[in-house]
Amino acid sequence: MEYIIISLIIAWFVYEYLYYRSDKFIKLRDSIKEHTNNCNELNEHIEKLKKSYVEIKQIDYGKAEYTDKSLYNFKRPELKKARETKNKNVFECSSTVCNGARQQPFKYLCKYFDLKANEETLTNFENVLNNFSAAEQGKVLLKNERDTIVKSISSEIPVLIKLLSKRKLIKKLGFTNIDFSQFYFPRYSFKYVSAGGNSSMEYVIILDIENLNKFVEYLSRVIKLKNSVEGQRALMTSLLREKIKSRDNYTCQNCGLSINAEQNLLLEIDHIIPLSKNGLTTEENLQTLCWKCNRSKGAKIL
């Protein structure tokens, strides 16, 4: 029985090896090459969007050496780790501050991580939210498009390959891997470890899409939009993004491509007059662009 199983495994690897090097598969792969390249180009764009978060530089308070001469001598690993490691997104604090962060996370985030509640910070986080929202939506659309392409050639792919070699098939067809993880969302941590290391607590603020929407609204309330003319300034939230898309009939205002013609089209929201050129976040200054047009536009005014 064992011999039969080993023989079947070897036979499968040989079959798989020969199939992916066959003229039939190479021809099939080349027939969708243009579509594959488009998907990979979008995938690369999504990865760039995910890197749009630029941390506000924190104040450099200098360095101080720490030496522990107490008798307990780090009897808890939590304490030793807290003393030996230093992460700029981790604030080692008292239990009181930790509890405060739990009750008012955004207030303490601004206070202890030097995120100034001003127009510049608000604009930066609006931009991050806009890009992250496009990235999250883009991942779903990209997978749908990839699946559609593979389905279109499914009848020409052997059943065994489709069943037993699905992941390798995607790779051999030329598609780059889609990263569905959300580890790129900024994380801020308030951490408390008692003097003897006998108790500890940690509260983590993850700036995901939901929290970014809330944080943008929080910042706007705190600063009261001091640098904007009342009534002219909107907030670049997920709700506004969808409102602009709907207003523009889910159509790129530059090339005219719409989701009616391309179901898995990634649409993004662009400032007609860029913020860098004193453009405001207003409905009149926002437009829907497909990701290719938005990428090529940059800070230009179309």
φ, ψ at 2 (rounded to 5°): -60, -40
Which pLDDT score, from 0 to 100, does residue 4 have?
Answer: 83
Q: Which of 13-22, 101-110, 134-143, 291-300 has the lowest mean pLDDT?
A: 291-300
H/E element, 92: strand 90-92
CB 207 within 8 A of CB 186: yes
What's the mean per-residue pLDDT of the chain? 87
pLDDT band (50, 70, 90) for residue 300: low
Which pLDDT score, from 0 to 100, does residue 54 have?
Answer: 64
CB 202 within 8 A of CB 192: yes
Residues 6+ apart with CB under 8 A from 153: 28, 31, 32
pLDDT band (50, 70, 90) for residue 77: low
* pTM for the full predicted model: 0.84
- Token code pair at residue 279: 């453009």
The whole-angstrom separation of Cα 150 and Cα 261 is: 19
Query: What's the average model confidence in pLDDT over 98-118?
Result: 92
H/E element, 175: none
